[in-house]
Each structure stands twice: as C-alpha cells, then as structure tokens.
Amino acid sequence: MPAISDEVRYRLLTLLSEHPQASQRDLARELDVSVGKVNYCLKALMRKGWLKAKNFTNSRKKSAYLYLLTPKGIEEKVNLTYTFLRIKMKEYDDLGLEIERLTAEVRDLDAARQRERSETT
C-alpha cells in the first residue's frame, strides 16, 4: 500500500485531535476515503509513535477506541500545520497574482471591444 500523503496525515491528525472518539467510519467519511485506508493510516501513525488507541465502552457499541495523539504526534501535527500554512500562503499569493492578471486581461479586452464598436459606428 502506498505511503500516507502529508495532506491525509495532517487532516487525520487534526480530526483526531479534535474528535479522539471518532470511529474509523466517521474518519473515513470526513476524509472522503475508504475505511480500509483509515485503518491503514491509523496503524501507520501508531507504528510511528504519533498515535495511541485506548479501548472504551460507549452506548452505541460494546467497545470502541479513543485515539490520542502522543507528544510525538502533536509535534508532527505542528510541523505539518506549518508546512500547510506555507503552502496555502503561497497558493493565496499566486491566486492574487492570477486574479490581477485576469482582471487586466478582461479590462484590455473590454477596452478593445469598446474601440471596435466605436470604429464600426
């Protein structure tokens, strides 16, 4: 099975830090991936020492898991957050430049269309 992408790892660690009692089915639905992939990812995070699972009982099922980020897991989440913040800031800056370029292009095309109309009348 392929390695877990940074994005899936980030999103999974974020979800687990906010909802440690979430079921694998809940996580799969939130991440828009299969339950099998979630299971694989959780096991990989546990092998890395970033996550631990504790059994607990809840009213829906006889037993469920509580997923807790370890100190190493919290550190990894912080590192991934910084990485994604830098990526998103660059995307934001690039998008701003693209919007400026498209706005200028529309303005130029509109001006050319106006000139063409005035020349034909």
pLDDT in tens, 38-85: 999 999 999 999 999 988 766 565 567 889 999 999 999 999 999 989
Two tokens, residue 66: 């509580």
Cα four-point dihedral sign 21, 27, 62, 40: negative
* CATH T-level topology, domain 6-87: Arc Repressor Mutant, subunit A (1.10.10)
Helices marked H in 1-70: 6-18, 24-31, 35-48
What's the pTM value of the predicted model, to 2 decimals?
0.69
Q: In this predicted structure, what is the pLDDT of residue 16?
A: 94
Where do the domains of the chain lie?
Answer: 6-87
Query: What 8-state DSSP symbol labels residue 2?
Result: P
- Residues near 89 by beta carbon (within 8 Å), at least 6 away in sequence: none
Rounded to whole angstroms, the Cα distance separating 83 from 68 reads 22
| Region 86-91 average pLDDT | 94
Rounded to whole angstroms, the Cα distance separating 37 from 83 reads 23
Element (H, E) at 5: none
**Residue found by looking up tokens 């009348």 in the block:** 121
**Residue found by looking up tokens 């912080």 in the block:** 78
Rounded to whole angstroms, the Cα distance separating 65 from 16 reads 11
Q: In this predicted structure, what is the pLDDT of residue 92?
A: 96
Among 8-12, 63-67, 105-109, which stretch is predicted with the lowest mean pLDDT? 63-67
Q: What are residue 78's phi and psi, to 5 degrees?
A: -60, -45
